[in-house]
Amino acid sequence: MLRKTALFLLGALLLLVALEAVLQCLPVSTSTMVGHYIDPAIQTYPPHHRFTVATGWDLKNARTHRTNNYGFVDDRDFHPDPRAIAVIGDSFIEANMLPASARIGPQLERILGVPVYSMGVPGTSLLDYARRARFAHKTLKIERFVFVIETGDVRQMLCGSGNYDHDCIDPKTLQLREISAAPAGTLKQIVRHSALAQYLFSQLRVDPGQWLHAVKAWFAPAAAHGATGTKPKADTNPVSPALADTLITDFFAALPATTQPPLIVIGTSHARGQSARWNAADMQQLAERATAAGMPVVRLAEAFEQWQARTGLSTAVGPYDGHWNAAAHRVAAETVAAAMGHPAQ
């Protein structure tokens, strides 16, 4: 019996080693090593870090990137330059599933003829954008900013939303909280460099926490919904207009004082149903407040709808990924450039 167990374990180990070796030869997503390298409150990759990204089990849109001198996914290094424009946002700006030349930043640079610094960090929201803007204003002498707002960014400012890096607003006290993530432990550091682990967690999106939750729910279904077994009402907007207005005020107050007002670009929504309506209400408030403050506002939804009606094509990378494809980035860049007084030729 002991011999059979030993042989089974040896076979399992050899299988894991073989899978690791095979996946090391494929463009599996590698460790991004995200952390705080240029500023204690700004998340980036390590400067000059090389990493690979891909989507899904079949490794779609595989790309290998090398970050610039400040740890952003941009082929251009950043240097102090008052002529430059910083484009700030989340994964819609980084767009790591696309080649560098297809993203909004480089396309905007070609139209405007001035350096454009792409400062996109996935999974962040408005207060994180403001942090990057203050850093760019102070360190890189940037005076002109373009903020590309994902339609959930207002409510994602709240602590607990999971879509911020460092700064968030406490939903109870409405006070700013600065949250620093714990450094990666030894096990996580090891797993980061395993192609098999990256394939499971990055490509297949295996979530051990969900498995554990499912097991607990199976044995104690009542506990999964609280002691009473009731669920919160799904039709109640957790962010009232008054709260949204407070969050927008906090965002504007966090922006650096510049010689030119920033351009606010409102993107398109991934959400559906009630969430989409709530996000749309937030964006309407944001647009009205920005306009009243003298900030020009661009809504991409209309430009995208016109392009789709003309071409019959989608603006999404694919049905598996709602981020903008290369054509949508071009439309966005042309729309932004026109709003800045530089229509595309």
**Would you state the pLDDT for residue 228?**
47
Q: What is the CATH number of the domain that holds 178?
A: 3.40.50.1110
Task: Please give the single-letter amino acid code of residue 290.
Answer: A
**Would you state the pLDDT for residue 259?**
93
Alpha-carbon gap, residue 344 to 112, rounded angstroms: 9
Q: Considering the domain boundaries, does residue 109 fall inside one?
A: yes
pTM: 0.89
Q: Considering the domain boundaries, does residue 6 fall inside one?
A: no
Q: Considering the domain boundaries, does residue 16 fall inside one?
A: no
Q: Considering the domain boundaries, does residue 259 fall inside one?
A: yes
Per residue in 116-147, pLDDT (tens digit) is 999 999 999 999 999 999 999 999 999 999 99
Q: Considering the domain boundaries, does residue 175 fall inside one?
A: yes
List, for the chain, all residue ranges whose pLDDT scores fall below the cut of 50. 223-232
147: β partners: 88, 264
Q: What is the domain range of residue 195?
A: 28-339
**Would you state the pLDDT for residue 231?**
47
Domain count, the chain: 1
Query: What is the sign, positive or negative, of the torsion defined by CA atoms of 311, 315, 321, 326?
Result: positive
Which helix (H) or strand (E) segment holds residue 89: the answer is strand 85-89
Q: Considering the domain boundaries, does residue 345 fall inside one?
A: no
Main-chain dihedrals φ then ψ at residue 299, nearest 5 degrees = -105, 120
Alpha-carbon gap, residue 320 to 323, rounded angstroms: 9
**Would you state the pLDDT for residue 101?**
94
Q: Considering the domain boundaries, does residue 2 fall inside one?
A: no
Q: Considering the domain boundaries, does residue 17 fall inside one?
A: no
